[in-house]
Structure 1
């Protein structure tokens, strides 16, 4: 797939695009745009492409009824003392990677960030997260009526 992007990049370099279309010369932007359009129009196809892209990056997900497991392959040069994991309800941020790099992983489901277990074995970071429950029943709310029109 990289070969096709390289061809597209070379072709765009030779084009004289109108002002404001310079963003089309950025392969990362084009790739994100295409993925976003595919997600909207063909969710099943887009998810398989995203799964392949994540597998290429050394990221894998596994879901149970209550938990989401994330596996991330760490580089061998990672320092045990500098590695940090930050959890948000929709993504993970891994800091302390070699060359001051950080990795942001978008999660396929919302999770409870405070309920997390992380372990490293053979340079594989495994994170077990508790999934947020789906929106359940409706609850009736009180309505106050104010005087006036």
Structure 2
């Protein structure tokens, strides 16, 4: 009897990867593709990993995440933790907290969350890129 890992490897061998090798060099695309394939093949594993449905929008200065909670959400039990690369929601009635990976690094202390009766909207400012330039001294040996 083969293990789940061997079964997954055998299944992946039969899958056709999309054409265009240049897409394979984009880590975000590869991550999304693998997650999608695993979710289709092993739905229980995807739910156990805390995969949640959230609408993520990105502007020049911020990242906005819209997470449907429903009208009966108990806001006193829900805990939102913002980190530089993800947000975590716990107290949703599941044992595992929901983790949402963000497309860009953000400033967690700028987190602004609003609940409109059905959807939790979380807005975070992007972390500015630091382009440091140093003039080096050239010495003769």
What TM bracket, shorter-length normalisation? 0.5 to 0.7
Structure 2 residue aligned with 1:74: 69
Shift of 1:25: 3.6
- In 1, the alpha carbon distance for the partners of 2:28 and 2:104 equals 18
Task: Give the number of the structure whose alpha-carbon radius of gyration is greater.
Answer: 1
TM-score between the two structures when normalised by the length of structure 1: 0.59
- In 2, the alpha carbon distance for the partners of 1:72 and 1:83 equals 12
Q: Is the 8 A contact 2:52 2:100 kept in 1?
A: no
TM-score between the two structures when normalised by the length of structure 2: 0.61
- The structure in which a higher percent of residues are strand is 1
Please say if 1:98 is aligned against 2:93: yes
SS at 1:114 equivalent: helix
SS at 2:81 equivalent: strand
Q: Is the 8 A contact 2:65 2:123 kept in 1?
A: yes
Shift of 1:124: 0.6
Structure 2 residue aligned with 1:83: 78
- Which of the residues 81, 102, 113 maps onto 2:108? 113
Structure 1 residue aligned with 2:46: none
- Which of the residues 24, 27, 38 maps onto 1:41? 24
Please say if 1:60 is aligned against 2:55: yes
User: How many residues align structurally?
Assistant: 112
Question: Cα distance 1:42–1:122, how it changes in 2: closer, same or farther (>3 A)?
Answer: farther
Where structure 2 has 5 or more consecutive residues not aligned to the other structure, the ranges are 13-20, 37-50, 137-141
Shift of 1:91: 0.4
In angstroms, what is the RMSD of aligned CA positions?
3.7
Q: Specify which structure has the bigger relative contact order, considering alpha-carbon pairs within 8 angstroms and separated by 6 or more residues.
A: 2
Where structure 1 has 5 or more consecutive residues not aligned to the other structure, the ranges are 1-15, 31-37, 142-149
Shift of 1:60: 1.0
Shift of 1:138: 2.1
